[in-house]
Amino acid sequence: MEKLPRPKKMDSSMWVDEAIWGHRLYDEQTPWLCIMEFLNVLQSENQNGRAFKEGNFNTLRYTTYPRMYLRNILFNNPQMELIEKNFRNDNHSQWNKWIDEMNKNSGGMNVVDYSYLKKRFTSFQDFVEIINFLRSSTIEGENNKRWSSQFIFPYGPDCLYEDLRVTGTSISNDRRFFARTGEILYLMLSRSHKKDEILGYLSNKILDGKSSFNRLVALLQPDDEQFDGEKREGGYLPYSNLPEYDLLSDDWINLFNCNMPKYDVFPHLVNITGLHMIIYSLNRSKEVLNNLNNTTFILEIIAPQKTIIRDLASDSYSHNNNLSKQAIEEYILGIKNTEEWDKVITSGDPYEAARDLIVRRFSWRDDDKAKATSAEGLLDEFFKKASVRHKQHVQNFHRVWGREIGLVSKRSSRRLRYAPTDSLLKALVLSNVESKMEFQEFLDRLYTKYGFIIGDRQAEALLETGQADMEAFSENAVRLEERLSSMGLLKRLSDACAYVENPFVKVGIR
Amino acid sequence: MYDESIQRTIDKKGIAPIKVEPQYLSELIANFKTSYPSSVILTGTAGDGKTYYCREVWLALGGDKEEWDNGETIKILQLKEHSLYVIKDLSELSEDNRYIINEMAESIKQDNGKVFLVAANDGQLLEKWKNIECNYIVSEVADCIEDLLVSEQQQKEGYNLQLINLSRTNSAKVFPKIVKSVVSHPGWDECHNCSLKENESVEKRCPIWENKKRLEGSGNEKVLLDRLVDLLELCELNEVHIPIRQLLLLISNMILGHPDARDKLMSCGQVPKISENRSVSSASIYRNIFGENLSERRRETTDIFSTLNRFGIGTESNNFIDNILIFGEDDPELTDLFKKYMTSDEFYGADETFKAEQKSYLEGEVSKEESDRFLNRLRSQRQRLFFTVNAIDIEEIQIWDLTSFKYAGEFLEKVHRQLENGKRVQPKILTRLVKGINRISTGLLTKDSDVIYLSTSGSHSQSKISRVFESEISVRPNRGESVDINLENGKPVLIVKISLSDEIDHVSLKLHLVRYEFISRVAEGELPGSFSRECYEDLLAFKSRLLNQLEYRKKIEGVYETDPDRMVLELLRINNEGMLYRRTVEVEFE
């Protein structure tokens, strides 16, 4: 498949990771923050009537909001409770003291006046209650990120703002936690077949801004808050079309169809999205490596004692974890097997020819600072630089996101391995079982859709190569069955037959 | 396969088989004798007796014994007006014979002169029916079978079919019958003249006979059997079904188990050697119940033992019980109980070896190895205690503390059996459950038990702490709302009603052992870390269902609370008495 061209304006010291996975998969941006960034993009594009409409590929440009009043009130407001206590039963003083304090100490804004709040709430005490409540729905609860990287739950458009760095009264966008992975997600869904349905759902749930919680959050912000309305240039996603995009969008719709109460769908959405992103990243690596096997994951359903599955799950993890590194190597050093490289070697000035080729192929910007003196040496030097860069973030993506979504775990072992948590299992049931599904069929679905190897039937290919015994895998499946059963997601009929059930669909005895 | 080889052994050795009147047999035979018989599918777990049923029906209807043994998959017998097709194992059906499924489907939808008796475990059953090249009738009948299986029904209108799931046979009810059949088997008569049977010297007595005697009990004293029935009943309530084959396996291991014997099962010839080696205590029936005579691997892979071991009997305990076992001899307050339950049992109780090891253990003059050995003996004694403490002492010695489920006894006696006897569950139990559910639902350490609180975190309902009040449901009947425990399909269910209208279904939660224990422990604030988190997820799903149903009630009743100009936020707080109250905050949108 043809790769889309690199957008002209995109600045980068080289074009390697970006060319393979897009710009960019970033380990420090957690799946939750990826969804938050995604919603920011979607909201902005929706406002301009362009939601999920891409025009020319990779030309996303969207507006972001700082919402500094809201964020100071919620996350940079240490005096509030103290003031409430010190001036108890004196509503007037409470407000005045607090407004005074906030006007002096707010970050990221020049001219500040919080007095609009006073007439919007019955009492300062009520105001404090509301702030405390909203804080309690901070994304990823007790994290230790800076205050300007804290986010409240996305009840609606008035809750969306971008990650920022605040220095005194000025703000800057340092892409610390909104590092474009959300843009990638936006582009993926824009290129998927269910984008309209997704937009339909999110419009009703979030984008229309009608929810009372969104209006509450809007109430905390001044009417005349000036938004810079700064435009952000969007990321780069290399392929116009991939089955991965469609599978991702299918799962989103499946989850929406469960009709969970309130906003309960979100945690599941986060986990499932994370999983699809991991699969996407592994598949891109394999493409470079010309590895045509399906991506698989051997999952240990945690057993009380060490089992052979635990080792296999660790091996499977390490195998996958190394793929991106190998892909980089192949992508760069593989050039040696091309005719172009032969020409370089046989040319009059191999060094210059090599330099030309590397700059052309990989858009290397710092070629003039290279220390190498030979063509080969130059390529190696470049490879080392690219590897160092890769190691910083993209290489960690599989591990960090795997742990975030509960796919990768170290529990009772020193090695990392695939061992899903309850919440991931629940997300998998909800996005794959419409009402009920026979257990073996469920295992099979997980295998064909995500490459998850859990039971003996899925492990057949491994068994043929003598890697494991049937029994260990069928015990693994039994453990999953028991676990789903105690989570209320499975009904067992006899030793040979069990049904996985979606708890939101059927009403009856459980 | 089992049934066939057992039949061969019975013939070869000339032993009278162990017989228990099967629950459905007469009904089945009667069905096929009528002029309008319906086809029958027997499903169930391996070892439930599917093949046995087929054979008995075949013979009772005049089928030939030799023909039965001839290895054909499909056997045909002429009834009054129908031909009966018996397939004792559907998985044996070869590709060539697949047409029979079509015929069967036909016979179920309209009388075609054929009628079927088919046995299969339910997994294979569905596989066979679903993988066949479908015509319309087959897929219709396949859907019917699936429905019957999942909804636990036996019949469906419009289909001339009965689906009998043998896994619904209650093992707790069958077990005493099998025990009776075993202990009164004529084979025991041969023991009459054995010198080891009731030998004067305790050391020489035969452990096989001793175990049989204990299993049988004497007069009204059947503590061992009763308690085993309790455990089996709890398994059934926990939706773990134990087939007859496993029960037979359990009984034989209980009587014959010994770790040093060949195949881990004693035979008469080995008994003198066991006495000589002073290892009779290893033949203890109380250990054998848990398969302690077997290797760890064997134990874990044998269903009945892995199931029974999940009760943790032997490893769990409380201080009082361990004090009796360890200090009982010297402690004046405990000595009576120690004598009653430890020294009085010369055979498996506190024998001289036990006492000697106990003494060195207490004096601390032991190596790691020796102390492990004593702790292992303690484990065996706890197991024995569980099966011997009689009704008089049960209040004092809380035997259910010896299991991982300290509320199991209460659950069985005061909930399940209480309801079975047509009585109501005591209010204090319901109160505790509601309290536990409130704690899980709100994430707050509340003591409230008059209403079920439903709250969210504003964003999601599944968060650990949910302070935003959504609704409450009265426990005492009030305008259609109520919370109660009733039996449904013979099992206790917590029923939450939220409306008088028939249109709005109640929400129910099956109370099986694990859930009951989990909720009770949360209510009493003593949830050990080892207790599974999965239950928590399970109950959050229950909360979701309640929320959804309340949402539905709102819709039906036409209550749309969204006032476009105002928002009322009710935040839950907890006061010094541990009761929840609501702090209301109102906001006006201009």
Confidence of residue A14 (pLDDT cuts 50, 70, 90): very high
Q: Percentage of chain B surpassing pLDDT 70?
A: 97
Helix/strand/coil (H/E/C) assignment for every residue in B478-521:
ECCEEEEEEEECCEEEEEEEECCCCCCCCEEEECCHHHHHHHHH
Q: How far is A495 from chain B (nearest CA, A)?
A: 5
The predicted complex's ipTM stands at 0.83
Which tens digit of pLDDT belongs to each residue from A388-447? 999 999 999 999 999 999 999 998 888 999 999 999 999 999 999 998 898 999 999 999
Q: How far is B445 from chain A (nearest CA, A)?
A: 18
Q: How far is B534 from chain A (nearest CA, A)?
A: 5
Compare all CA atoms of chain B with the CA of A438 and give the residue at the minimum distance: B123
Residues 95-154 in A contacting B (C-alpha not used; CB under 8 Å) = 120-122, 126, 129-130, 133-134, 136-137, 153
Structure tokens at A163: 């990650």
- Please name which of A125, A427, A421, A374 lies closest in space to residue B533, comparing C-alpha atoms: A421
Give the 3-state secondary structure of residue A466. coil
Size of interface A-B (CB pairs under 8 A): 144
Structure tokens at B354: 């036990």
Structure tokens at B280: 């009779």
Helix/strand/coil (H/E/C) assignment for every residue in B75-124:
EEEECCCCEEEEECCHHHCCHHHCHHHHHHHHHHHCCCCEEEEEECCHHH
User: Cβ of A496 and B241 within 8 Å?
Assistant: no
Computed from CA positions of residues B89, B90, B95, B99, in that sequence, does the dihedral angle turn out positive or negative? Answer: positive
Residue A369, classified by CB atoms within 10 Å of its CB into exposed (0-12), middle (13-18) or buried (19+), is exposed
DSSP A207: I
Give the 3-state secondary structure of residue A380. helix
**Concatenated DSSP letters of A106-129:** -SS-SS---GGGGGGSS-HHHHHH
CA angle at residue A274 from A271 to A278, to 5 degrees?
A: 140
Residues 6+ apart with CB under 8 A from B404: B310, B311, B312, B316, B517
User: Cβ of B461 and A494 within 8 Å?
Assistant: no
The number of C-alpha atoms within 13 Å of A36 and in the hemisphere containing its C-beta is: 24
Structure tokens at A321: 């974890």
**pLDDT for position B307:** 92
**Token match 């005049």: residue?**
B62
Cβ-based contacts of B544 with chain A (< 8 Å): 260-261, 264, 503-504
For B452, the enclosing helix (H) or strand (E) is strand B451-456
Amino acid, single-letter form, for residue A492: R
What whole-number distance in Å separates Cα of residue A384 and Cα of residue B511? 62
Compare all CA atoms of chain A with the CA of B561 and give the residue at the minimum distance: A212
Nearest to A503 among B122, B545, B562 (CB): B545
A349 and chain B: CB distance < 8 Å anywhere? no
Q: Cα–chain-centroid distance for residue B300? A: 17
The answer to whether the CB of A313 falls within 8 A of the CB of A299 is yes
Q: State pTM to two decimals.
A: 0.86
Cβ-based contacts of B302 with chain A (< 8 Å): none
Does position A38 have pLDDT exceeding 90, yes or no? yes
Give the residue-averaged pLDDT of A472-500: 87
Whole-number Cα distances in Å, B362 to B62, B375, B582:
70, 12, 56
Q: How far is B567 from chain A (nearest CA, A)?
A: 7
User: Cβ of B459 and A497 within 8 Å?
Assistant: no
Nearest to A487 among B489, B538, B549 (CB): B538
User: Cβ of B167 and A494 within 8 Å?
Assistant: yes
Which residues are registered as beta bridge partners of B257? B265
Does position A229 have pLDDT exceeding 80, yes or no? no
The answer to whether the CB of B249 falls within 8 A of the CB of B257 is no
Mean pLDDT estimate for chain A = 92
Structure tokens at B572: 């839950």
Task: Report the 10 Å Cβ neighbour count for B305.
Answer: 22
Give the residue-averaged pLDDT of B502-519: 90
User: Cβ of A266 and B465 within 8 Å?
Assistant: no
Interface mutation target, options B307, B460, B502, chain A, most CBs of A under 10 Å? B460
CA angle at residue A440 from A436 to A442, to 5 degrees?
A: 50
Give the 3-state secondary structure of residue B543. helix
What whole-number distance in Å separates Cα of residue A334 and Cα of residue A328? 9
Residue A5, classified by CB atoms within 10 Å of its CB into exposed (0-12), middle (13-18) or buried (19+), is exposed
**Concatenated DSSP letters of B407-436:** THHHIIIIIIIHHHTTPPPPHHHHHHHHHH
Interface mutation target, options B153, B502, B585, B589, chain A, most CBs of A under 10 Å? B585
User: Cβ of A496 and B123 within 8 Å?
Assistant: yes
User: Cβ of A137 and B459 within 8 Å?
Assistant: yes
A491 and chain B: CB distance < 8 Å anywhere? yes
User: Cβ of A493 and B150 within 8 Å?
Assistant: yes
Structure tokens at A435: 């009402």
Which tens digit of pLDDT belongs to each residue from B297-318? 899 889 999 999 999 998 888 8
Whole-number Cα distances in Å, A56 to A39, A187, A232:
21, 12, 16
User: Cβ of B458 and A137 within 8 Å?
Assistant: yes
User: Cβ of B587 and A499 within 8 Å?
Assistant: no
**Concatenated DSSP letters of A134-151:** HHHTBTTSS--S-GGG--
The number of C-alpha atoms within 13 Å of A197 and in the hemisphere containing its C-beta is: 14
Confidence of residue A97 (pLDDT cuts 50, 70, 90): very high
DSSP B197: T
User: Cβ of B544 and A496 within 8 Å?
Assistant: no
Give the 3-state secondary structure of residue B584. strand
Cβ-based contacts of A491 with chain B (< 8 Å): 150
Residues 6+ apart with CB under 8 A from A294: A451
Give the residue-averaged pLDDT of B521-535: 77
Give the residue-averaged pLDDT of B492-517: 91
Interface mutation target, options B128, B240, B464, B534, chain A, most CBs of A under 10 Å? B534
A48 and chain B: CB distance < 8 Å anywhere? no
Ramachandran angles phi, psi of B26, nearest 5°? -65, -40
User: Cβ of B567 and A216 within 8 Å?
Assistant: yes
Cβ-based contacts of B125 with chain A (< 8 Å): 497
Confidence of residue A468 (pLDDT cuts 50, 70, 90): low
Q: How far is B485 from chain A (nearest CA, A)?
A: 13
Ramachandran angles phi, psi of B496, nearest 5°? -110, 110
A72-81, A363-372, B458-467 — which is least confidently predicted?
Answer: B458-467
- Please name which of B479, B235, B163, B153 lies closest in space to residue A508, comparing C-alpha atoms: B153
Compare all CA atoms of chain B with the CA of A504 and give the residue at the minimum distance: B545
What whole-number distance in Å separates Cα of residue B218 and Cα of residue A62? 85
Give the residue-averaged pLDDT of B115-119: 93
**pLDDT for position B23:** 84
What whole-number distance in Å separates Cα of residue B197 and Cα of residue B211? 11
Nearest to B583 among A129, A155, A259 (CB): A129
Amino acid, single-letter form, for residue B563: D
A262 and chain B: CB distance < 8 Å anywhere? yes
User: Cβ of B509 and A219 within 8 Å?
Assistant: no
Give the 3-state secondary structure of residue A493. strand
**pLDDT for position B1:** 58
A457 and chain B: CB distance < 8 Å anywhere? no
Which tens digit of pLDDT belongs to each residue from B70-109? 888 899 999 888 999 999 888 888 878 888 888 899 999 8
Cβ-based contacts of B462 with chain A (< 8 Å): 264, 267
**pLDDT for position A509:** 40
What whole-number distance in Å separates Cα of residue B166 and Cα of residue B144? 18
- Radius of gyration from C-alpha coordinates of chain A: 26
Q: Cα–chain-centroid distance for residue A271? A: 8
A435 and chain B: CB distance < 8 Å anywhere? no
**pLDDT for position A508:** 43
Compare all CA atoms of chain B with the CA of A480 and give the residue at the minimum distance: B534
Interface mutation target, options B130, B498, B537, chain A, most CBs of A under 10 Å? B537
Cβ-based contacts of B468 with chain A (< 8 Å): 133
User: Cβ of A262 and B150 within 8 Å?
Assistant: no
Nearest to B562 among A212, A489, A497 (CB): A212
Parallel/antiparallel/unpaired status of strands A490-494 and A497-501: antiparallel
Give the residue-averaged pLDDT of A45-64: 92
Residues 6+ apart with CB under 8 A from A124: A84, A91, A94, A95, A98
Give the 3-state secondary structure of residue B455. strand
Cβ-based contacts of A213 with chain B (< 8 Å): 458-459
